[in-house]
Amino acid sequence: MENGNIAHPITEPVYTRAPYWQDVPDEKWMDWRWQMSNRLNTVSELEKVINLTDAERAALNANDLFRVDITPYFASLIDPNDPNCPVRKQVIPTSREMVPFQSMMEDSLAEDKHSPVPGLVHRYPDRVLMLITTQCASYCRYCTRSRIVGDPTQTFSRKEFDAQIEYIENTPQIRDVLLSGGDPMVLAPKLLDMILGRLRAIPHIEIIRIGSRVPVFLPMRVNEQFCEMVQKYHPLWLNIHVNHPKEITPELGAAMDRLTRAGVPVGNQSVLLAGVNDSVHIQRKLVHELVKIRVRPYYLYQCDLVEGSGHFRTPVSKGIEIIEGLRGHTSGYAVPTYVVDAPGGGGKIPVMPNYVLTQAPGKVVLRNFEGFITTYTEPIDYDPHAIEAQEKLIAPRPEPGQEGLLKLLDGEQMYIEPEGFSDVRARGGAEHRLRSGEISQKWQPLGVGAIESQEPQALEATTETKESA
Ligand code: SF4
């Protein structure tokens, strides 16, 4: 213990750098602006630190290649002689990146389709994704937003940015804003400060989140000034993006130490990538190393169906196998939620092994991570309505049009049918005596939806009529 605080083992940074940069003074090496202006992006620059393969060289010389830029710090984590190095595969292109594959899309999550204004994705009821730049510190070969990321001409204008803020100001159902891009942490510090300030001034914004890979590509950006700045805007959360334990260095640990001491809860999102981290043992090591630097594994993403990512994709069963190998085998705190971000824009869908084997009224049969099978006996006197008086004290948050299955559970609706469902089943037939608009009440379930608003006496009367019929 030190001054009442828990001592952290990482006090002095240990500088990770390739021999090529050994003579760079520490002040420069630890200056994020120096790192940004000395990024590697050409064959000749990369060859100074990495022995490139023919496939890598071919890709780097190709036209229309998704942008390449690698910070000297992150390049120093690459094994210069191993084409299978998991860090290398994430940032150095190979010719496999140019191979199209079935179901590949430019915008596989339909983000642009679900943007009320450019760069603002409003997919879920209470939160938005705000894209504030297209620039990153280094570029990941599997990037979901490669359609805009890295391209300065796609960067959001001041007018578009104002429109994003205006939309948020005028939409009180939004309580959570996630800043992403590109990478918000490459923005000029004053600009990021201004954006956070404008968001914090909106009364209905409860939390602000930043999604950033900068702490991983450029841990020196998480300096004292940055930490002081973000502290003004609490509650502020931050998610980093680490895919392999090799990326967890003393520099990243020190950056996370500064950030968590500034009161920022930090999570990690990784992408499941073939040849990088598609292994139970690598993932277990990754989550253990993350919690050691106080970063909570948050999501493990299935790789999206996006251009350039074909060779990184794994079957979904690989993700399920990884969760099988984590849940129960390590602390629940270290287990991320494995999600498939729905192609077409349906949002994140959690996927996991089956733990419920079967159920009957009063009993659920479950299995644990070892295959131990047990039963949970449910209460027979449980009253789901007993909470209602307390529930009424909490104002419900509206989710217009996005209630989903909750609508069925709440008794507002009995079923959900795809668009055109009834028309297809009508088979083009004309209205007839059994199917006219006047008698449509016969498909109205008693006590569900519209009839629910009837007085209890009216419901009883309807019941009696049915019984006597
Ligand atoms: S840091 Fe994020 S936005 Fe930037 S290239 Fe990587 S995945 Fe894409």
pLDDT tens column, 151-191: 988 889 999 999 999 999 999 999 999 999 899 999 999 99
Ligand 1 centroid to residue 182 C-alpha, Å: 6
% of the chain at pLDDT higher than 90 = 82
Query: What mean pLDDT is predicted for residues 84-103?
Result: 96
Residue 86 has pLDDT above 80, yes or no: yes
Q: Is residue 81 over pLDDT 90?
A: yes
Any idea how long the chain is? 469
pLDDT at site 10: 43
Q: What's the confidence (pLDDT) of residue 440?
A: 73
- Given the residues 124, 193, 285, 294, select the one marked as catalytic: 124
pLDDT digits (tens, 9 = 90+) for 313-350: 999 999 999 999 999 999 999 999 999 999 999 999 99
Q: Is 407 a catalytic residue?
A: no
pLDDT value of position 438: 67
Can you tell me the mean pLDDT for 401-413?
90
Mean pLDDT in residue range 70-82: 97
> Does the active-site annotation cover 140?
yes
Average pLDDT (434-457) is: 71
Long-range contacts (CB closer than 8 Å, 24 or more residues apart) made by 370-374 = 370/328
pLDDT in tens, 303-321: 999 999 999 999 999 999 9
| pLDDT number for residue 239 | 98
Distance of CA 353 to the CA centre of its chain: 20
Question: What's the confidence (pLDDT) of residue 395?
Answer: 87
Residues facing 373 on adjacent strands: 367
Give the best-scoring range by mean pLDDT among 13-27, 81-95, 433-447: 81-95
Whether the upstream peptide bond of residue 25 has omega within 30° of 0, thus cis, is no
* pLDDT higher than threshold 70 for residue 383: yes
| pLDDT one-digit tens code per residue, 239-256 | 999 999 999 999 999 999
Whether this model's pTM surpasses 0.85: yes
**Mutual orientation of helices 158-169 and 189-200 as an angle, nearest 10°?**
20
Q: How many CB atoms lie within 10 A of CB 320?
A: 15
CA of 434 from ligand 1 middle (Å) equals 58
Is beta strand 236-240 parallel, antiparallel or unpaired with respect to 266-272?
Answer: parallel
pLDDT of residue 454: 45
Q: Residue 338: is it exposed, middle or buried by C-beta count within 10 angstroms (0-12/13-18/19+)?
A: buried
Q: What are 130-142's pLDDT values in tens digits?
A: 999 999 999 999 9
Label residues 116-125 b or e (16+ Cβ within 10 Å = b). ebbbbbbbeb
Q: How far apart are CA 240 and CA 221, in angstroms?
A: 13
Which residue has better confidence, 443 or 192? 192
pLDDT confidence of residue 432? 86
Q: What is the pLDDT of residue 347?
A: 95
Partners of 189 in the beta sheet?
Answer: none
Q: Which of 36, 89, 139, 276 should be mutated for ligand 1, with most atoms under 8 A from CB?
A: 139
Give the count of beta carbons closer than 10 Å to the beta carbon of residue 424.
11
pLDDT band at 147 (very low <50, low <70, confident <90, very high): very high
SS3 sequence of the chain: CECCECCCCCCCCCCCCCHHHCCCCHHHHCCHHHHHHCCECCHHHHCCCCCCCHHHHHHHCCCCCCCCCECHHHHCCCCCCCCCCHHHHHHCCCHHHHCCCCCCECCCCCCCCCCCECCEEEEECCEEEEECCCCCCCCCCCCCCCCCCCCHHHCCCHHHHHHHHHHHHCCCCCCEEEEECCCHHHCCHHHHHHHHHHHHCCCCCCEEEEECCHHHHCHHHCCHHHHHHHHCCCCEEEEECCCCHHHCCHHHHHHHHHHHHCCCCEEEEEEECCCCCCCHHHHHHHHHHHHHCCCEEEEEEECCCECCCHHHCCCHHHHHHHHHHHECCECHHHCCEEEEEECCCCEEEECCCCCEEEEECCEEEEECCCCCEEEEECCCCCCCCCCHHHHCCCCCCCCCCCCCCHHHHCCCCCCCCCCCHHHHHHCCCCCCCCCCHHHHHHHCCCCCHHHHHCCHHHHHHHHHHHHHC
**pLDDT confidence of residue 179:** 98
* pLDDT surpasses 80 at 5: no
Q: Is it true that the peptide bond before 401 is cis, omega within 30 degrees of 0? A: no
The CA distance from 12 to 423, in Å, is 70
CA angle 329, 331, 335 (to 5 degrees): 85
Average pLDDT over all residues of the chain: 92
Annotation says 227 is catalytic: no
**What pLDDT score does 14 carry?**
58
Cβ of 139 below 6 Å from ligand 1: yes
> Ligand 1, from 213, 238, 243: best to mutate by most atoms within 8 Å of Cβ?
213
pLDDT number for residue 439: 67
What is the residue with the minimal CA distance to atom 3 of ligand 1?
182
Say yes or no to pLDDT of 285 above 50. Answer: yes
Q: Which residue has the tokens 């019984």?
A: 467
- What pLDDT score does 155 carry? 87
| CA geometry: angle 425, 427, 428, nearest 5 deg | 130
Task: Supply the CATH classification number for the domain 120-350.
Answer: 3.20.20.70
Task: Tell me the CA–centroid distance for residue 246 and ligand 1, in Å.
Answer: 18
Q: What is the pLDDT of residue 468?
A: 41
Which residues, other chains included, contact 17 with Cβ-Cβ below 8 Å and sequence gap of 6+?
A: 24, 29, 72, 73, 76
Q: Which are the contacts of 294, defined by CB distance < 8 A and separation ≥ 6?
A: 256, 257, 260, 266
What is the per-residue pLDDT for 400?
Answer: 85
Active site residue 232: no
Q: Does the annotation count 304 as an active-site position?
A: yes
- Give the Å distances, CA to CA, from 242 to 78, 90, 395: 14, 11, 38
Q: What angle do CA 86, 88, 89 make, to 5 degrees?
A: 65
Return the domain boundaries, the chain. Answer: 19-98, 120-350, 405-429+443-461
